[in-house]
Amino acid sequence: MKIKINNRPLILVTNDDGVTAKGIDTLINVVKVFGDVVVVAPGRAMSGMSHAITTRIPLYLRTVKKEEGLSVYKSNGSPADCVKIAVNYLLDRKPDFVVSGINHGSNSSVSMHYSGTMGGAREGTLFGIPSIAFSLLDYRADADFSTASYYVGEIFRWVFEHGIAKGVSYNVNIPPGDNLKGIKICRQAKGRWVEQFERRVDPRGRDYFWLTGYYDNHEPDATDTDEWALANNYVSLVPCSVDATDFESVERLKENGLESVPSHIASV
């Protein structure tokens, strides 16, 4: 079942809104200018799936479409699963690039941790492939991607030429509207989601809860964050490391005794 690929660059596309979303269609149209495109994406919406993988049920992989330079598959897996099955099973060579999105909705700041779009891109990075997550700050199914597609193309072209450092994924967020000021390289803003759980009662009298909430930026005045860039109509690009180690803490903890707890515990 390995796909035979010619010598053009091979670009793997995934997303978390599902293979039929407008955002992935836009992304395919942009990147197919640069090479052959293989799409492996969830058959249904997988928002908030983070870097989840599927180990307890089997995955399927179904052909959606095959045409010159473009093959589209869908799976029941998460975005990260889709990248895994594409690289490990479907493709006869490692893709040159992985692009994920364009997500319908923001994945800036700490939302990158919840994001299935970022999960797909990070999985590409773990395979040593330059990988980018793209998100538009518009949740609507019929969101307008026309300005976003220009910036997606510019950023992809840049990565096409320059690559991405090993162990790093790019998290790109794009404001809505058509009057953007350009691209800003940013750090991830410090902040968090403030949730309310909306309680309802089911027909059998049992409580259930809908997760709702809003994002609270803990450093609204800092001008080097993705949140600031987006609020000021810039496209934000945060380079994200797969190495989560907090090296400052490593040094501090080594010095202050946590390593020195008793190790003779045979009798415990």
Q: Which of positions 85-144 make contact with a copy of itself (CB under 8 A)?
A: 85, 88-89, 110, 112-114, 116, 119, 122, 126-128
Residue 166 beta carbon to a copy of itself: minimum distance, rounded to whole angstroms: 9
Min dist CB 34 to a copy of itself, Å, is 16
Cβ atoms within 10 Å of 221's Cβ, excluding its own = 7
Name the residue among 81, 70, 84 with its Cα closest to residue 30.
70
Residue with tokens 């955002």: 23
Distance of alpha carbon 34 from alpha carbon 41, whole angstroms: 20
**242 binds a copy of itself, rule: CB under 8 A:** yes
Kindly state the smallest distance separating residue 207's Cβ from a copy of itself, in Å.
7
x/- mask, a copy of itself, residues 220-239, rule CB under 8 A, reads -----------------xxx
Total residues interacting with a copy of itself, rule: CB under 8 A: 97
By beta-carbon proximity to a copy of itself, the closer residue of 37 and 235 is 235
Per-residue exposure over 4-15, b if at least 16 CB sit within 10 Å of its own CB, e if not? ebeeeebbbbbb
Residue 81 interacts with a copy of itself (CB under 8 A): yes or no: yes
Q: Does 2 bind a copy of itself (CB under 8 A)?
A: no
Looking up tokens 């479409």 gives 65
Report the C-alpha gap between 32 and 13 in whole angstroms: 10
Q: How far is the CB of 7 from a copy of itself (least distance, A)?
A: 26
DSSP letters, 171-226, are EEEE-SSS----EEE-BPPPEEEEEEEEEEE-TTS-EEEEEEEEEEES-TT-TTBH
Question: Least separation, in Å, of the C-beta of 215 and a copy of itself?
Answer: 11
Of residues 39 and 118, the one with the C-beta less far from a copy of itself: 118
Q: What's the closest the beta carbon of residue 153 comes to a copy of itself, in angstroms?
A: 9
**Pair of tokens at residue 214:** 């809003």
Minimum distance from residue 32 beta carbon to a copy of itself (Å): 17
Question: Segment 12-71, which members bind a copy of itself (CB under 8 A)?
Answer: 45, 47-56, 58-61
Among 162, 201, 205, 221, binds a copy of itself (CB under 8 A): 162
Q: Would you state the structure tokens that stand for residue 186, as one six-digit string?
A: 């940013």
Of 83, 245, 93, 100, give the one whose Cα is nearest residue 169.
100
By CB under 8 A, name the one of 2, 4, 200, 204 that touches a copy of itself: 200
What is the torsional sign of CA 53, 5, 149, 25? negative
- Residue (6 or 260) nearer to a copy of itself, CB: 260
Residue 28 or 238: the one with the smaller Cβ distance to a copy of itself is 238
